[in-house]
Structure 1
Amino acid sequence: MSATTTAPKSGSTALPAFRPSMKVPLSLGILALIALVFFGFLGPDQTAEMKISDAGDAVAVPALMIPGQVGGVVFGILLLAMAAYSIYLWTQGERSPKWLPIAFAVVFVFALLVWIVAGARQPSISLAGLVAGSVTLAVPLVFGSLSGVLCERVGVVNIAIEGQLLGGAFTAALVATMTGSPYIGLIAAAAAGAAVSMVLAVFSIKYLVNQIIVGVVLNVLVSGLTGFLYGTLMVPNKEQFNTPGRLDILPIPLLSDIPIIGPILFEQSIAGYLMYIAVAVVWFGLFKTRWGLRVRAVGEHPQAADTLGINVNATRFWNVTLGGAIAGIGGAVFTLVTIDSFTKDISGGRGFIALAALIFGRWNPIGAFLASLLFGFAYNLQSILGIIGTPVPSQFMAMLPYVVTIFAVAGLVGKSRPPAASGIPYVKG
């Protein structure tokens, strides 16, 4: 019996074998080597003290004592192992699982933190204070990124997050001062953010003006308007118009004393609790309800959504307005939580950082929340560096989130694809 072979049919072409991108394994490998060399072999000799619980906590947890150089070597080897696993999966034609870059990032950041603290004049840091402060600084970013999620999921690019935050901050300070109630100021901030968004919606949806141009113009307009009113109204009459007070911190008994978790989840102002509720509600609404299905359909394929009877432009209009209200609440955090007054351009460009967090989080409420926490962590760590006396320049730490965002947008931690119809106006007919 002769051996037979099956020849390809005439005219057919062989499909090339699938091979995933090398970006993720290569990036993890480079970062792992950097960690091993700089955090380990060239790391400081001092021991870093990581305090888990603070004085007064119901549960006292011993501090972590991690030798700088030895700990750096251990973390570097662990990172190399994860990078090697990613490379192995690539050789087998498989993508790295989603959890792998996340776990790698957590270990890398902790190794970086140990390296910084061990090289400081006072090699001690409170993890509870660091994390709790990071969450507080991330609250406006979370609200801003959620605004971007609601807008872009429905097909409208929201460049005006900065203006919505700034408008909310100014209105909150003004109304809270005049009424004597920070809570009324919080509601007024939501209305101000919604008003800014309605302008964006009218011009970009009804009159088909380029969404990015409208957003940029709104940012400049709100910045100029609030700056003018601050200089002419608030500066000469501070007691009448710019003493809003603060939102009370509302700790939950017993739960707020849990190390690390307690101050984060159970010792917040009403704005902090609203942040967690907003993330959960927006995620559930987008992915578990009929409303969310309609929203995502409008953002992905408005023509098909229109065919099914969905009013595309009305859906976009109300989603953009809702997003603005959420961003306005985030702006109120600047004047009612972080400090108790308004200053010119108090948002400091955080609306654009929220936009970056939105992209980093892949247009997902939970992803945007986690990305915002990363930015808040960098902001808080930057201030703590000066206290403990580290030789690492604070500007270096301040730029880390932006570097991470560039990696994310470049696709090195996975491709980020916006909704298909994002930024594209819809004309029925």
Structure 2
Amino acid sequence: MTAVSDALTSAFQEEWGQLVATLIGWAGDWDLAEECAQEAFARALRTWPRDGVPDRPGAWLLTTARRLAIDRLRRATLGEAKLRQLAVTEEPFAADQDESGIGDERLRLIFTCCHPALAFEARVSLALRTLTGLSTAEVARAFGVPEATMAKRLARAKQKIRDAGIPYRIPPAHLLPHRTHAVLAVIYLVFNEGYVATSGADLLRPDLAHEAIRLAALVAELVPDDPEARGLHALTLLQHARAATRVSPDGALVPLEEQDRAQWDQSMIAAGLTELRHAARHENVGPYQLQAMIAACHAIAPTAADTDWARITLLYDALSAQVPSPTVALNRAIAVAMSSGPDAGLALLDDLGRRDHLLHAARADLLRRAGRSAPAAEAYRTALAHTSNEAERGYLRRRLGELEAGG
């Protein structure tokens, strides 16, 4: 049963977004696609232990989901044309080329979700929910809103797509700029979920990180004159180059300063730096490029001690001016602490007004660096109480144990 469970988990991570995207492309119905995809996985759970895992799990799931969709449409008497469209091919994940020249189903789905008729947050939320298979609760956490609020947002977006007859296709090239900003936001959030999962035992979800990198590359190719598209691709490459060193053998988070830089993927770093240079030629520096520049400061430093924290602080100053978010403010405070001392960073943390686990963890780390063990230990305990990610919890427990042992 373990082999079947592993196969199902792998299939969900690798196939969910493509499966739903393909079904939506055929049926034009978000709810139908998601429900049939879910039922296909439920049937796999019942039949694979008995019949064995198929050689091509994705194809098995698509065939099953498509037959379920056909049955539902037939029962609903929605017409022979749609049924013929669903039954036209047995090949999984086939996609016709459209006038934009892109045949990727997931990219089609993102561009459909990012139609300018939808509110920006609704576009990004719907694409993230559909692409990744994240629960509504997980998407809500990514946006910092209650689950009920996110559920209503998603329902309204789907209803508007149906009522307005928004077509499921990538728009022609001259309309791409109207959607690119939201598309990049979707890919950025997909990568973030792969880089630091919002919940569960694993810090990393490589499937999402790899998919985000692939999609970022496609969009950078699709809109080569958009420097932010190249900036996002550079950012994903530079960040993911450190993936092999970010988690210890026992599953705990390894902070940047303790990572073995010899194991960083140098070819990925080189590719990211190349993309960043291409983006810089446009002399229009946006948030993704600034974040990529920050990542580059870490990537090119031979050791943690060589990191140019003064430059990173200046880059965060520029990023704060463009994206004045709590996360940017927190990261800027850490950069100030690393360049000017922990007390300078702690003073900035006091002004942030946020009280999530990241704030508590940052405060604990700066207090530890300042030699204030008792308040640092208390901050680590508070951070532990506010995070559900086991990799992060492992790191926090290690630091707390060191303080309690007088280390």
TM-score by length of 2: 0.28
Task: Give the strand-richer structure, 1 or 2.
Answer: 1
Task: Give the helix-richer structure, 1 or 2.
Answer: 2
TM-score by length of 1: 0.27
